[in-house]
Structure 1
Amino acid sequence: MHIRWLTAFLDFPVDQFGAEVTFWRAIAGSTVSPPRGEHREFASLEPFNGDPHLRVQRVDDGPGGIHLDLHVEDPRAAAAEAIALGANVVRDDMQGDYLSLESPGGFVFCLVEWHGESERSRPIRWPGDTISIIDQVCIDVPDGLFDREVTFWAQLTARPTEPTSRPELVRLARDPALAIGLLLQRNGIDDESTFATGHLDLAATAVEDEMARHEDWGARMVERLPNWTVMADPVGRRYCITSRNPRTGK
């Protein structure tokens, strides 16, 4: 399939929705679109330039999380391809212009109609000259599902894998036309009852300064590693600030 655009969707429970949207709007340096959907449950985080690649959703059940929207010209045909590769249909709502599926590892994604999105937003230069952008989704995969999950996403996106500095990480070669890149991480869990989840990654030129900005908005540092720092947002949702190049994603 030809993925024309890729969106990271943050799913928030009802009691967290307002405060979490405020936090992530600030971190992304965006505005929030008018709500849409039957119950006004969806909104986009609108960048100051380019097309949105981050969206938010209010969910009635469960703890929320993150999922991907794959924007394609024909969601039904794309779903057939995904199913042939091992995906399962979770919800078929083509009257609402999307199909919800899950990968072999249980990571949820949606196939939605492409409406011409094509312009990548530029990273933001913050006071102090730090440059950053939310530009990657990391899919966290249990050990026993990892190899199959890597194969699935590489085939689904038609992007080759790239080596990284750590054996538990596999990156899909970045499509320069898309604002979001994909990384897969072996999460060290070997339990058949678990499934793949995901988190957001930021690229920043000065990780320490970026951390301080996030902490001012209520985030906290969880763990420091050589090339990235694990953070938790005000309700404990984890994400990473990385030292990748914000302009290239590498």
Structure 2
Amino acid sequence: MHVQWLTAYLDLPGADFGSEVTFWRAISGSTVSPPRGDHKEFATLEPFNGDAHLRVQRVSDGPGGTHLDIHVADPVSASLEAVSLGASLIADYRTHRVMSSPGGGVFCLVPYQGESERARPIRWPGGTISIIDQVCFDVPTERFDAEVAFWEALTGHPTPGRHDPDRVGLTRNPALALQVLLVRSDVAEPATYIEVAATDIDDEIERHEGWGASVVKQCTERVMMSDPIGRRYFISARNPRTGA
């Protein structure tokens, strides 16, 4: 499958949609497109430069979540390929297909619409540079190896040498705005998170807290955050320009 673009989708509960969009717009340093969809349930977080790689969706049931959109030339044939590699079809909306990976990660196959220019990281007051640049799949231990093999085969992006056998990132395509990271976890059910790369974690945390986020767990080079309604995400000490 030729992956031509990746988008991180934030699925937001209807009651919190407005405040959540405000938070993520501020954190990502973006503007918000006019709403679209039959019920005005979709919007794009538009960067100040480059093509968008973050979108939001209002959901009517449940707490929402995060999922990955994979942009391809032909979602139908791509979905057949994904199924042959072990994925499951969740829903067919004609224009796009909702899939589940062998490890339980939810993703959508959507039509490619010409996106090609990566957004540049933002330099914030104080000098910190950051960007949302990674989608992380927390995978139950017993499904982890199969999940890594699936994503390698699906995207054609192999994993580099494993310095950490429990955290495996696909080789990053420098033309894409997002990277995929697979994390071995003791969770019973898979989960998906977005991650921010920042040059100064402490300064970035303070900025997020100013918009209502809070720290859940902090390590030396990575911190789990909770947004104002409890959605988990990460900030990590990585190069915002390369992801390294």
Which stretches of structure 1, 4 residues or more, deviate above 2 A after TM superposition?
162-167
Residue in 2 that maps onto 1:20: 20
Q: CA deviation at 1:47?
A: 0.2
Q: How does 1:64-75 map to 2 (within 5 A)?
A: 64-75=64-75
SS in 2 for 1:223: strand
| SS in structure 1 at match of 2:57 | strand
Provide the C-alpha distance between the structure 1 equivalents of 2:221 and 2:162, rounded to a whole number of angstroms.
11
SS of the residue 1:162 aligns to:
coil
Shift of 1:226: 1.9
**Residue deviations 1:101-136 (CA, integer Å, cap 9, x gap):** 111122111111111000000000000010000000
Q: Tell whether the 8 Å contact from 1:204 to 1:246 is kept in structure 2 after alignment.
A: yes
* Structure 2 partner of 1:237: 231
Letter in 2 for 1:219: A
Write the distance in 1 (CA, Å) between the matches of 2:199 and 2:138: 24
String of CA shifts for 1:44-94, please: whole Å, max 9, x gaps.
000000000000000111211111111001111111110100111111111
Q: Which moved more, 1:17-26 or 1:222-231?
A: 222-231
Q: Structure 1 residues 215, 165: CA separation in 2 closer, same or farther (over 3 Å shift)? A: farther
- How many residue pairs get matched? 244
TM-score normalised by length of structure 1: 0.95
Contact 1:41-1:58 at 8 Å conserved across structures: yes
Identity across aligned pairs (percent)? 59
Once residues 164 and 138 of structure 1 are traced to their aligned partners in structure 2, the CA distance between those partners, rounded to angstroms, is: 16
Shift of 1:167: 3.2
The farther-off stretch of 204-213 and 165-174 is: 165-174
What is the Cα deviation at residue 227 of structure 1?
1.5
Note the C-alpha offset of 1:21: 0.7
Question: Displacement, 1:215?
Answer: 0.4
CA-CA distance at 1:165 after TM superposition: 5.0
* Equivalent in the alignment of 1:86: 86
Q: What is the aligned partner in structure 2 of residue 181 from structure 1?
A: 179
Q: How far did residue 162 of structure 1 move?
A: 2.5
1:30 paired to 2:24: no
AA paired with 2:144?
F
Query: In 2, are the aligned partners of 1:118 and 1:177 still within 8 Å (CA)?
Result: yes
Tell me how far apart the structure 2 counterparts of residues 88 and 166 of structure 1 sit (CA, whole Å).
28
Q: Is the contact made by 1:135 and 1:201 (CA closer than 8 Å) also made in structure 2?
A: yes
- The structural deviation recorded for 1:204 is 0.5
Tell me which of 214, 218, 228 is aligned to 1:224: 218
Structure 1 unaligned regions, length at least 5: none
- TM-score between the two structures when normalised by the length of structure 2: 0.97
Q: Any idea what the Cα deviations from partners look like across 1:142-168, whole Å, max 9, x if unmatched?
A: 111111111111111111113455432
1:51 matches 2:45: no
Shift of 1:13: 1.0
Counterpart CA distance in 2 for 1:239 and 1:174 is: 20
Is the Cα–Cα contact under 8 Å of residues 91 and 100 in structure 1 kept in the other structure?
yes
Counterpart of 1:199 (choices 172, 193, 208) is: 193
CA contact (8 A) 1:222 1:230 kept: yes
Cross-structure match for 1:171:
169
How many Å separate the matches in 2 of 1:31 and 1:136? Answer: 20
Give the aligned residue type for 1:185: V
Letter in 1 for 2:85: L
Unpaired stretches in structure 2, ≥5 consecutive residues: none
Whether contact under 8 Å (1:11, 1:66) holds in the other structure is yes
